[in-house]
Chain A
């Protein structure tokens, strides 16, 4: 069976497998023999989890350069490990770093690179990546024509599932030969960002997003999000104003999300905002201006004052649950 490499970053939170990686391992197991390529320690806890996903082979490196320089050393690791196991495909997560690892590994392996896959299927020996393009106006199927395919995959491409039988992975330490230019952009400082305690935008089933209409106070949006167990998103107007972290921005230059439900509050619906949310299953809009473009794409729209409507909805949900 052909080897499918899944890249796993263990530098930041060693011992813990992210939910997206579980999905990538599930995809890899469906298409071939999953091989985990790990940057960082291959701890006992990690190996047990990988074994449960049916990973029989783990290649890892703990070389300090992997964390000391931006992205490039990790791409060297992925490319050299993929070549060592004669992988037919490499799967990475679709974060900015994931896409860049894919980009550089693609150059090193002379492999076709496909980003932003929402699903990966298997068709007569080749992987087919499904993605949406042009702000969600088209869905396309793309495949690599090279011997190796490199695909960056978005969250929820598949439901993660464990192998029928757990295996005990064989672990090999690899010594990456870093290209000189890979050790050129040094990370001199790393400041952790405060966690909100709410679901991540990409993981959330429901998102409540606020815009300039919030006028500096995100409390109504946060209270609705919390009774719904939702993530909080924002327009660029709101993040630029500093009312909420830039990491919460949805849109062309923020996160691209497709939750079950997106509740847009005090957001006009500019083209760049729509680019990040119009593939949501259901869209609800609350805006006091009936002419706002957001209403053109809303399944349920309310023309009115968010400061009245949101608190009333929060009270009603609490009442019905009591």
Chain B
């Protein structure tokens, strides 16, 4: 049973593109999701999954990589992009009642969705979303699903039924080991994500995407959304955009002018 086919779920989030100005809207101060894309940090999760399944003969050998997203109808674009990059199938959890879900409600719904996929070997996520940036979901999912948690992995290997990861912290670099099944989050140091190619884009059109509602997952509307969330944002204020200050061009004494600036600011 050495290196048999893997069943992997990759979490892919549809997030506002950070290249544009991003905004909070409405009374609940939620994120405006127009101009959204597949979170770039999730591309590392997808690449990690595809590298593992490529090495085991890909879809032909029975490997499955499910791209799972939770979000409005438009979030299907994150699944589609993942299928173009190489995921084998998609799962989209969508329901009006999910709007305004915090990490707790989101991880609850994601855990229920993953359970519909049968026995999964690995759940792989990015190190954070690029919008909320809390890094709460991977740890909460591992806790809810009772999976080994190997998070912030900058290296990931699976050999037989064992997964190993390297986690680089400020004080230590750690080697972590667990038996499958497990949940792994990968950093942007873990790999170099591939781009979709023409063949992938064509192949994606034939791949299956399943859309499920809360009822399909056996969850009540009150368990998620603003009602099921355990946190609330009571106030939000846009910070004035930074503006350029004094710009000088060095004509031989810029180092001295720098020191003058620091002295004027009482920083030296």
Contacts and interface: CB of A to CB of B under 8 A. Distances in A.
Contacts of A191: 172-174
A298 B244 contact: yes
B234 interface: yes
A99 B134 contact: yes
A262 B234 CA distance: 31
Consensus secondary structure, chain A interface: mixed
A241 interface: no
A113 B230 contact: yes
Contact of B259 (A181, A261, A316): A316
Interface stretch (A41-49, A53-61, A130-138, A158-166): A130-138
B136 interface: yes
B2 interface: no
Contact of B140 (A104, A133, A135): A104
Contacts of B237: 138-140
A99 to B, nearest CB: 5
Nearest to B170: A247
A113 B229 CA distance: 10
B59 interface: no
A54 B239 CA distance: 36
A301 B174 contact: no
A71 B149 contact: yes
B26 interface: no
Contact of A246 (B136, B177, B189): B189
A143 interface: yes
A17 B23 CA distance: 39
Interface string A268-304: 0001100100110011101000100001111111111
A191 B133 CA distance: 27
6 contacts: A100-B138, A103-B143, A113-B230, A261-B262, A286-B258, A301-B247
Interface of B: 18-19, 21-24, 29, 31, 41, 102-104, 107, 127, 130-140, 142-144, 146-152, 154, 164, 167-179, 182, 187-189, 229-239, 241-250, 253-259, 261-263, 265, 267-268
Interface of A: 12, 70-72, 75, 95-97, 99-100, 102-104, 106-108, 110-116, 128, 132-146, 179-181, 184-193, 200, 206, 228, 236, 246-247, 252-253, 260-261, 271-272, 275, 278-279, 282-284, 286, 290, 295-305, 308-317, 320
Given A103-B135, A134-B31, 7 more contacts: A95-B169, A96-B152, A108-B143, A112-B230, A184-B147, A184-B179, A313-B259
The 4 closest A-B pairs by CB, nearest first: A312-B255, A304-B250, A112-B230, A184-B148
